[in-house]
Structure 1
């Protein structure tokens, strides 16, 4: 990959898109992970306003600390960056308290994890509307179009996706070129929706390089029966997630009414 040219291309694209949309800049949620770090830096390089939001919800301290230090690094390098911390923990707790209880609490863990992401999306759009900013998404290609590892109308609810045509490994290449803090680059990827340190690999059962391998081979027409051992396991994981999460990747289905019924 021609890393420097890719960076310039994305930065130009961001600036042109915002200018044509007559928006003043971007707002982005900073998680302490590699994707939000890279996306926010690319947005900052576009030269327009950039608002970085920290939105902790029972967040693991190491995630919050990394996010804070990345924003400090941005502000030391770019004059167009501002920050706000919105503590969503009490909002989340009050919402959970308002919901009816269920017989087995563990059954709603996934629903509540997605609720966290949707509260953050709501906050991003509040500031976007207030300041005439665009919500910048942080999803990469294997997450958004491979396994669908994001929350529908949560972190998937954005105005534009600067790094969605980059594989996760390519995002790391961009991060190194941009000079992103080493602690962010070395941190294990996590969605930060559980209030603990579980990683993306813990949840998915495969690493991002493995998922990229499977995604590329599926595009070439390979099937599960072509593999054995760990390769078969990884390919099966990818196919299962890719299939079950198509509802995230395809347009919302519309019930088309026949003309003779109108």
Structure 2
């Protein structure tokens, strides 16, 4: 298990807050738009944006959302607005938009592939909505991905929740996100909830989909970065390490810059 004895929550919160404020100022934008899911990552991100003092819009975008996700999102937004006068909120129900889209496109060869593709479509519809509001408010879309999701296993949707302007918590592990969120008074209901991407309209957790907890993935990421290989482990450790390596490999297309086909000079 990774330790965080030197994790200075207040100093890190201030560092991220100042970084966000300086970036927005230099970009000559007014503030931030954050998609609120009822999860800890979006709760922490929106809190950090709110701390900048710049206008922060919390945007709820339900699509057949589980009631528990909706209630946690609303609780967080209410809590944030009570603490910060610069926070506003909007709700755009994308359920009918998503349903109409499904009616217009064919299904894949298998139900699993159809379900997975439609889950990613939900995320991309939300990205489009976030950028609409960012456009009309002259704001930046703040990403909610953490370090393990963004740079470890690639657990996000390309051009969905991966389509953002700034990534304020992408250098924090999930464990660090929890520590910082607790320090910044994110509601307990969110702190104790199982992480979920909320893209399937049910309560399946990230762990259910990945096959490992974030704490296990953090360990595997550290081992991989130190040069370890699967043969160095046995039992559950080997299983987790192999899960990490498989996802890290197949999702490199998300984590690397878009490949550009360079034309040789002799052909131009």
Q: TM-score range by the shorter chain?
A: over 0.9
Q: How many residues in Structure 1 have an aligned counterpart in Structure 2? A: 262
Matched residue, 2:93: 87
Q: How does 1:36-47 map to 2 (within 5 A)?
A: 36-47=42-53
**Residues 30-72 of structure 1: CA distance to partner in whole angstroms, max 9, x if unpaired?**
0000000000000000000000100000000000110011000
Q: Among residues 107, 115, 120, which one is paired with 2:113 in the alignment?
A: 107
Are residues 1:69 and 2:72 paired?
no
Structure 2 CA distance for aligned equivalents of residues 4 and 184 of structure 1: 20
**Residues 180-209 of structure 1: CA distance to partner in whole angstroms, max 9, x if unpaired?**
100000000000000000000000000000
Q: 1:107, CA displacement in angstroms? A: 2.9
Q: TM-score of the superposition, structure 2-length normalised?
A: 0.97
Q: 1:227, CA displacement in angstroms? A: 0.3
Structure 2 CA distance for aligned equivalents of residues 142 and 102 of structure 1: 30
Q: Among residues 126, 129, 132, which one is paired with 2:135 in the alignment?
A: 129
SS at match of 1:79: coil
Matched residue, 2:222: 216
Matched residue, 1:248: 254
**CA, structure 1 residues 21+76, in 2 after alignment: closer, same or farther (shift >3 Å)?**
same
Structure 2 CA distance for aligned equivalents of residues 101 and 24 of structure 1: 42
Q: Determine if contact 2:107/2:114 at 8 Å carries over to the other structure.
A: no
Q: How does 1:92-171 map to 2 (within 5 A)?
A: 92-102=98-108, 104-171=110-177
SS at match of 1:225: helix
Structure 2 CA distance for aligned equivalents of residues 41 and 259 of structure 1: 50
Structure 2 CA distance for aligned equivalents of residues 103 and 16 of structure 1: 48
Structure 2 CA distance for aligned equivalents of residues 105 and 230 of structure 1: 30
Structure 2 CA distance for aligned equivalents of residues 167 and 19 of structure 1: 27
Matched residue, 2:29: 23
For structure 2, which runs of at least 5 residues remain unmatched after alignment? Answer: 1-6
Q: Among residues 209, 212, 217, which one is paired with 1:203 in the alignment?
A: 209
Moved more, 98-107 or 114-123: 98-107
SS at match of 2:23: helix
Structure 2 CA distance for aligned equivalents of residues 164 and 100 of structure 1: 35
Are residues 1:235 and 2:231 paired?
no
Structure 2 CA distance for aligned equivalents of residues 102 and 139 of structure 1: 28
Q: Among residues 4, 10, 21, which one is paired with 1:4 in the alignment?
A: 10
Q: 1:103, CA displacement in angstroms? A: 5.2
RMSD of equivalent CA atoms? 0.7
**Residues 133-158 of structure 1: CA distance to partner in whole angstroms, max 9, x if unpaired?**
00000000000000000000000000
Matched residue, 1:185: 191
Q: 1:2, CA displacement in angstroms? A: 1.0
